[in-house]
Structure formats: structure tokens, C-alpha cells
Structure 1
């Protein structure tokens, strides 16, 4: 990296390699806008490919071969239509990524270094989904769903389109993840085919304001990350101050550090999302008023994450594109719709793949296994407790529903998101265990109690609710009949 960039990086407090990545993502804004001017599809693919190769080479030099080698192997597997090629490609990419994670742990355990592993994680989502997209579009999948059909392609793309898909500059460094069908539609100007008659005329500057809002939002979270990191950091935990403080302070520390850690992810992903809006890839159809939507590549809904009332709310608002990849190409492949395969087993296997995809540090597995526990406890609560706060027609029984939602926000938004997520940040087993120990393992205990209680008594509680509702209906019906009989006598 040029020396003057090193000096600027030191001034703003960023590592040189991370600063270069941020500079390239910011450069993707004008380069993305320039892509709008290129109408020829072949030139668009060449433009995307050349810039992506340049980005990777500038950041990682000859580590670019980690893109080329698995890219070639996956292409050959799909080209020769090897039996079960979709699964082979999926697990080959995971195993290749596994090798990089192992190498990283051996050479720099717990040390931060920006290397090719991050972009390889994104490449894994692209290539592992590609095999299934081709399989779903070939007619060989007899249980293809509507969503799978919409994301499918009939055959392997050409070499130019394939390598452009791999090296697309707008998503190669920080994401967001994307799939082959939407990428090819974007490159060939097909995202806008379903334009409604009352839609506003297209302009070259469409979406730029939304892209700038994303950029400013990323700056906000970047500033928030730096500010909170001054007061909430790992030193408080590792120097012993954490365990010496009272429980309330530990819980508040958990909230502050959790927001600081999540803000780092918000910053990078939202910044990259804005660059893709500038290129036009973020376009996602029209709303009911004929206005263009630019939310195709949304990765986070920060407000929804921080105020979530259930773990499902967190999952639907955090790392959305990766969670969608896991759902479509792991969970729904383990337990396809319309089969009797265990969804619980599929959930745990999916979380295991997610941890495997992220890396091999113990903190990842501690985090994701705990998330699975929270998810199952949340399902039990939703089935057995939530009905008591709903009316007969399914609407909320207010003001009691506000109390239920408020407790959910405290437990999930302020508690579980940090309790589950921070071991992911700590990485090592000892530090994560110390963190949970300081909170007396409260969430593990709470989830286990919920599962035990509702496994034993849940059916009784639900039956009691149903009997109560049935008695109320009978009482209302009896009163109605009595009124009608009284009216008939009067007549």
C-alpha cells in the first residue's frame, strides 16, 4: 500500500490493510455509477471482472490464486455435470474455506490480520449456491419451490459471465452476498422488466440519494463504534475488572460492547450496500405507488436488531443475505418443504454450518449452539405463552400485549443478542466462558427452564387456554340464543 495511505490510516486509527479496503469500497461509489453508463452487456462483465481482479490483487497480492483455483474446480465439476455436483461444490467450498481457517489459526492465533479469508467466505456463498441454482433450473429437482425456480438458471453460464460473477467489484471485499440469477439479470438490464405503467420515468441519477443515505449511515455507525470502544472494550474483561463489578454493571457493559461490535459490521456492510445502489444492483422493483425500491442487497436492519422482541426478529434483521443463503442451501436442503424430516435437526445442522463457515474458534460454536437453544426456547414461548396475550381473532390483547413485547425486547434485544453474540467476538473459550460466568449463565438457565416447563406442562397450558376460549364462545352463544328467545316471546 502507498506510504501516504499508511500515514492517513494511522491518523484515523485503522490498520493499513483495513483502510485500503475501506478506500476501495468508497471508490466503488463513483466506479459503480460509471457502470450505469455502460450499456453493452459484454463490456459490463469485462468492467466488473477487471475491477474485481484489481481490487483483490491490490489488497491480497498473489493470494488471488485462492479465488482462481476453487473457481476453476467448481466450474469443471458443474461443466461435466458430475453426479451430485451441487453437493460436491457446496462441501468442497466449505472444506476449502476450512483449510484457510485452519491455516489462519496456526499462523496467527487470535491475531487480527485482514487476509483473503473474508472475501473467500463471500465467494463460498456464491459458488455453493450456484450448483443448486443450476440443479433447480435443469428440471432434475422434482420438488422445486417457487422461490427456487425464481433463483434458478437453466445451465452453467459462459466463462466470462462466470468469472465476472466471481470477481464482481461491488461485492468482492465486504459483500453483500448475491446469487447468480440476480447478478446476470442486473448485468443484462433485466431487473427492470416488470416496470408498472404508472412508474416514474427512469433517470440516470435514480437511487443516488438512497445510496448516499447508506454512506452517511455507515459513517454514523463507524463513529459510534469508535466512541463506544473507548468505554466498552475487551480490556475490562481481561484485566479482571469485569468479574469484580456487580451484575448490573456487567450487564450494561455487555450492552455497550455488543453495540460497539455490531456497529463494526453495520459500518462495512451498509457502506458496501450503498456502493451497489450506485451501480444499480440494489434496485428491487417498485412499491405500490410506482416508486423504485433499492433494498435488494440489504444486509442489516440495525434498529430492528437492537429492539428485537424475539430471536426470530434478530435472525430476520441480522446478516440477512447470509441467513437467506443458509436457509435456502442448508436448512431447506436438509428439511425440504413437504417432507417429514426433522426441522430441529435441520436447525442445529444449519447453525453448525454457519459456525463452520465463520471459522474454527471455540467462540463461534459457543455462540451458535446457544443461539439454537434460544431459538427453540423462543418457539416454545410463542406456542404456549403468546396465545394468552392475543384476542380470539389473533389481534394483540392490549395493553397486556405491550408488556409481553416489552419483556421480549429486554430479554432478546438488550440481553440475548449480546449474550449469544459476544462469544463470537471473543473467539477463545476461556474469555467467552468468563463473560457468561459473570452473568451467571442466566440465559442458558432461562432457556433450559422454559424448554423443560413447556415440554412437561406446555400442552396443559395450551389446552387450558383452548378450553377457556371454548367456554367463552359457548357463553356468548348461549347469551345470544337467550336474547333471541326473549325477543320472540315479546313479539
Structure 2
């Protein structure tokens, strides 16, 4: 596979998995959990698909993402709400910094797509959620218009928190989405989705074009050229 594509196997797996989510997302937008399949709610289906995605792509490194979620959920139930945003910001971003520092020291020059991108997306999501909960403790007159729209006054369940962190829609490459917008999408029924085939097709073609450019151009312009010297070799003077 690596010979045929001139791309690392890990990159091919991630890109292939990402492409595979397209038909799954189409099916998911029309999926409605009924009372007969209450266990398979949309939140659980999205979270399980996302969990399977990161396990396939990142293997054991996916444990870092699970640890990130556990840290966030623990803070949610142990830290006072009026301090939740700031403390979550420090701890979650500290976790990302430690992971990236480890990679810089022990895996310098490794430019393959890896779990740190998904970690950064997760940190943005979970930190924004923490600040939305913290804003619920402030007087309304002290909130900006954006804060008033995003403020979280109700408690978040384990299922919804897990889904927000691991939903297969955007778990690999994003985009970042606020919790409120995520819930609006998850609570929509299939009949409420407005079909716009033109925009959907155009977006899909743009993504395919970008993918083709990467596959064709990357072997001819390897990222390793950006390094002054190969890792492990003496520095030329």
C-alpha cells in the first residue's frame, strides 16, 4: 500500500477512514432512534462510531483522547462551576502541551497525521463547554451576546458529554463546533434536514479535489525537506 501511494500507511488508513465516514454520515442524518431501539440513541451511535474511528486510526494512542475525556468529565463534577472554565483550560491545555513536548523530544521529525490533532480539537470543545457552564454562574448583564447564546444552565449527562467529545462527525479533522450547535444537530429528526444537493455535492467535490492534490503533490514535495538535517544524522556545518 505504501509503495502504491507513496504515502505512509498510517496516513492512508486515516484518509481512508475519513472517506468512509461520508456514506456513514449520510445514513446517520436519516437515522432516528425509536422506543424499540432506545439503547441505540443517536448520541450513542455517533459516539461509538467515533470511538471505533480513533481506535482504527490511532490504535493505542487513542487512550490519550479517552484520558482527555475522563479528565474533563472528572473536572465537571469536582470543580466549582464558577472556576470550571479556567481550571479546565489550564489542565486540558497542559495535557496537550505535555503530549506535544514528549513527541518533540522522542519523536522529532515524525510528521505523520496522528492523535495530537484530534486532541487539540477535543481540548477546544471541552474547554468551550467548561466556560459555557462557568458563564451560568455570572449575572446575565455581565455576559456578552455570544455568551448568552452559549451559556449552559442545565446539567450535561454522561452520554451527551461522551458524544460531544467522540462523535465521529469531526473526530479526526474537525471542524470545531459548540456544544449547543452539536445538540441541535443531534436532536434533529431525518425529516427536518433540508436537502441541498447542490451545496452537498460542491462541498464533496472540493474535499475530493483537496485530497487528490495532497496524494499527488506530497510524494514530490515531502515535508522532510523542511528539516535542516535528517533526524539522527550529524549537523552539517
What TM-score does the superposition give when structure 1 sets the normalisation length? 0.41
SS of 1:110's partner is coil
Partner of 2:202: 213
Question: Residue 157 of structure 1: SS of its match in structure 2?
Answer: coil
User: How do 1:83-482 and structure 2 match up within 5 A?
Assistant: 84-140=83-139, 142-189=141-188, 206-225=195-214, 426=226
For the 8 Å contact 2:129–2:178, the answer to whether it is kept is yes
CA distance 1:155–1:203, change in 2 (3 Å): closer
Q: Which moved more, 1:157-166 or 1:65-74?
A: 65-74
| Closer, same or farther: CA 119–427 of 1 in aligned 2, 3 Å | farther
The runs of 4+ residues in structure 1 deviating greater than 3 Å are: 137-142, 202-205, 222-235
Q: 1:62 aligns with which of 60, 63, 87?
A: 60
Instruction: Give how far 1:150 is off.
Output: 1.0
Over alpha carbons, which structure has the higher Rg? 1
The answer to whether the 8 A contact 2:50-2:167 is kept is: yes
TM-score by length of 2: 0.82
User: How far 1:226 sits from its partner (Å)?
Assistant: 5.2
CA contact (8 A) 1:63 1:116 kept: yes
Higher relative contact order, structure no. (Cα contacts within 8 Å, ≥ 6 residues apart): 2
The 1-side partners of 2:223 and 2:56 are apart by 32
Residue 40 of structure 1 deviates from its aligned partner by: 3.2
| Structure 1 position 77 matched with structure 2 position 108 | no
| Structure 1 unmatched runs, 5+ | 1-6, 193-201, 239-425, 429-491
1:24 to 5, 17, 24: 17
User: What whole-Å deviation, never above 9, does each CA across 1:85-137 have from its counterpart, x for those lacking one?
Assistant: 21010111110000110111112112223332111011011011111111223
Contact 1:126 1:166 in 2 (8 A): yes
Q: Does 1:36 align with 2:29?
A: yes
Distance 1:48 1:218 in 2: 22
Between Structure 1 and Structure 2, how many residues are aligned?
A: 222
Distance change >3 Å, CA 48–CA 234, structure 1 → 2? closer
The Cα of 1:72 is off from its aligned counterpart by: 1.8
What is the root-mean-square deviation in Å for CA atoms of aligned residues?
A: 2.8
The Cα of 1:62 is off from its aligned counterpart by 2.4
Assess, with a 3 A threshold, how the Cα gap between structure 1 residues 25 and 231 changes in structure 2: closer, same or farther.
closer
User: Equivalent residue for 2:48?
Assistant: 50
Separation in structure 2 between the aligned mates of residue 78 and residue 427 of structure 1, nearest angstrom: 41
Q: Secondary structure at the match of 2:17?
A: helix
For 1:137 and 1:177, the matched residues in 2 are separated by 22
Structure 2 Cα separation of the partners of residues 92 and 20 of structure 1: 31
- Given that 2:150 and 2:180 are in contact with CA atoms closer than 8 Å, whether structure 1 keeps it comes out as yes
Provide the secondary structure at the position in 1 that maps to 2:7. Answer: coil
Unaligned runs of 5+ in 2: 229-237
Match of 1:11 in 2: 4
Cα shift readout 1:260-293 (whole Å, capped 9, x = no counterpart): xxxxxxxxxxxxxxxxxxxxxxxxxxxxxxxxxx
